[in-house]
Structure 1
Amino acid sequence: MKKTVLVTGGNGFLSMQLILELLKQGYTVRTTLRLLQKKSGVLATLKANHAVNLGNLNFVVADLTSDTGWQDAMQGMTYVLSVAAPMFSTDKAHINDAKDGILRILKQAQLAQVKRVVMTANFGAIGFSNKDKHSVTTETDWTNFDEKGFSLYEKSKAIAEKAAWQFMDKSSSNLEFTTINPVAILGTSLNEHVSGSFGLIKSLIDGSLKMIPNIPLNVVDVRDVVDLHIRAMTNPKANGERFIASEDGQISLPEIAALIRKARPQLSDQIPTKIMPNWIMRVGAPFSKQAQEGKLLLDINRNVSNQKAKQVLGWQPLSNNEETVLGAVDSLVKYDLLKK
């Protein structure tokens, strides 16, 4: 019989894809929601995407900012996929909310004798301080939390991951821990709830940009992130490891714009044709938080290795950069998300 899995934040972009695949593979799945009213929407989305074994899915109300509900959520679970993050605020006072949330998960998982927690971390914790374009960014790298242009969201996630590793280093329990660190997650969405990375694609085709920043990106299809989570959950070699989730290679915003013009010409009218010179962003960085964040994206190394996931977990990307981008484009159109 397949083991039991807790997926946190069941109405999220990635969480619903994980639930869909876990049910398909025969797992018994429990998921948390901040509000039980969201249950009907999750079930409707799963049914619309041909979910099987829905009788193996149950819901618990729990919020990462409170202990309430987590004991019930963890009861009888073999694995925990810690996907959800607290509601994000740009107020610096809430910078540690994500840290407090993952520590709450780990403590409750220990008490419930969970076998392994897999945390959805992010690439921001790994690759935003490596500016050597001739190097390769790997899981051994850590971003300097005081990096200029490091957004509060990225910083909060990085602080959370570091705190989780420090907690596990001091722990004497048998709980196992792994992180998946995705780059920009795109691909096809199950409903109108998409990842924050979709905003990059949306900005290219909704008329909000006059020029395209010449920023290179690493992207990953949500299906590949799902695959990696499940492999990391079950593979004995994954314990104590970080894994970058990325398609092979990289793709720039101008290349993405050209791809959309060619593959989805009906959307080309509002896509800018001019590329923003890099100096504009560099000059603006001292005066604009947005420009400072953009300058950091210009400066960091994008030679990102996904070899560890391939070698340790036997993972191979299901998608590539172009398919991943077009999946996101089609979802933006399908769910009418291109309106400003």
Structure 2
Amino acid sequence: MTRVLLTGASGFIATHILDILLAHGHSVRLTVRSADKAEKLIAAHPEHKDQIDYVIVKDIAEAGAFDEAVKSDPPFEVVLHTASPFHFNVKDTKKDLLDPAINGTTGILKAIKKYAPTVKHVVVTSSFASIIHPKEGKWPGKVYSEADWNPTTIEEADSDPTTGYRASKTLAEKAAWKFLEEEKPNFTLSTINPPLVFGPVKPYMQALESINTSNERFCNFLNGKNKEKLPANSGFVWVDVRDVAAAHVAAFEKPEAAGKRFFVVEGSNFSNQQTADIILKHFPEYKDKLPATREENDGFDYLEGGLYTVDNSRSKEVLGLKYHSFEDCVVNTVKSLKELGL
């Protein structure tokens, strides 16, 4: 049994990580922003309640926010840091995105070094946002991998919410690797870099009005917002949340993952038309919520001129990931949203 600290435990990805940690027999401390969220998580795992405790961290951007959270008896061996904002409802880029991402990441690394010397490995949730070169667009012929870094600077972060989000993830991850290089702590680091994360939500933690950003598109399919016409794709590559969760756990359970970034991506492209087709196939009751006319080229609106591809070989070879198919992902996502009343 390994003693693990899981930050941002009520988040979309973290709830799935918790399932795996408990199934693998690990002891887990959760950081959450309210006791109510922690109690819901514990209540959802009654058979594992003796493996879970929690602390409240209301603002991860505050100095010393994690100082008390990292202190434990028995002591921690692993920290999984998933807490970071992912939304585009931004009024102040620095306050809403940059500070929580960057200060939260560096803050927890400082706290671990100072107060939790027993920690041997840290896994940080990063993003494809810190890999992609936004100005290159579709970039035909490009193969994205862990070797790539988003060149966006902090000066460019204020240009729009999407750029601000991408900058926050890039700068936070760079800050983490810089910390290791300069501070030389006792722990090693791995980062997990997923693109759009789809997949089933946990009904006990979610409400339709606060569904995670990437799954909002599925709500729009099911509630008829796209009935007249499907929107153009706002992304081209994806991954199932269950695979992202598995990657976080494998990253500390497999020693060879230390010191590496992992581009956790299914590998194939998706379209909104493909999503609609799968929904119609498995859930015909939503027929009247979907457009009657199919999009040309099955909705793959980026076919002309080509599109970048991705290399997920490291995640499969080192972490042992076996990715869920897009059809399985869509079906299970819809099932979970139906539980919420859609």
Cα displacement (A) at 1:186? 1.8
- Cα 1:115/1:247, change in 2 over 3 Å: same
Q: Hey, what does 1:70 align to over in structure 2?
A: 66
1:307 Cα deviation (Å)? 0.7
Task: Provide Cα deviations, 1:223-251, integer angstroms capped at 9, x if missing partner.
Answer: 21111111111222212211111224121
Match of 2:150 in 1: 143
The aligned residue for residue 159 of structure 1 is: 171
TM-superposed CA distance for 1:137, in Å, is: 1.2
Shift of 1:67: 4.1
Identity in percent: 30
What secondary structure, in the 3-state scheme, does the structure 1 residue paired with 2:310 have? coil
Match of 1:212 among 214, 230, 234: 230
1:173/1:39 CA distance change after superposition, 3 Å: closer
Q: Deviations over 1:37-69 (max 9, x none)?
A: 32222223334xxxx322011111123122456
Per-residue CA shift, 1:12-56, capped at 9, x if unaligned? 222122112111111111111122232222223334xxxx32201
Q: Secondary structure of 1:165's match?
A: helix
Look up the match of 2:102.
Answer: 99
Paired residue total: 314
Is the CA contact (8 Å cut-off) linking 2:120 and 2:187 kept in structure 1?
yes
Runs of 5+ unmatched residues, structure 1: 279-294
1:282 corresponds to: none
Match of 2:128 in 1: 123
**Which amino acid is 2:230 matched to?**
I
Q: Distance in 1 between matches of 2:229 and 2:22?
A: 44
How far apart are 1:273 and its partner, in Å? 4.1
Distance 1:249 1:161 in 2: 25
SS at structure 2 position matched to 1:30:
strand
Call closer, same or farther: CA 1:275–1:224 in 2, change over 3 Å. same
Residue ranges of structure 2 left out of the alignment (5+ in a row): none
Name the residue aligned to 2:44.
45
Q: What is the alpha-carbon distance in structure 1 between the residues aligned to residue 267 and residue 126 of structure 2?
A: 19
Q: State the match for 1:55 in structure 2.
A: 50
Q: Normalising by the residue count of structure 2, what TM-score does the alignment of the two structures yield?
A: 0.83
Structure 2 residue matching 1:93: 3-state secondary structure: helix
Match of 1:60, as an amino acid?
A: V
Matched, 1:242 2:242: no
1:133-175 Cα offsets, whole Å, 9 max, x none, are: 2222111112232598744333322221122222222222222
Local SS of the residue matching 2:69: helix
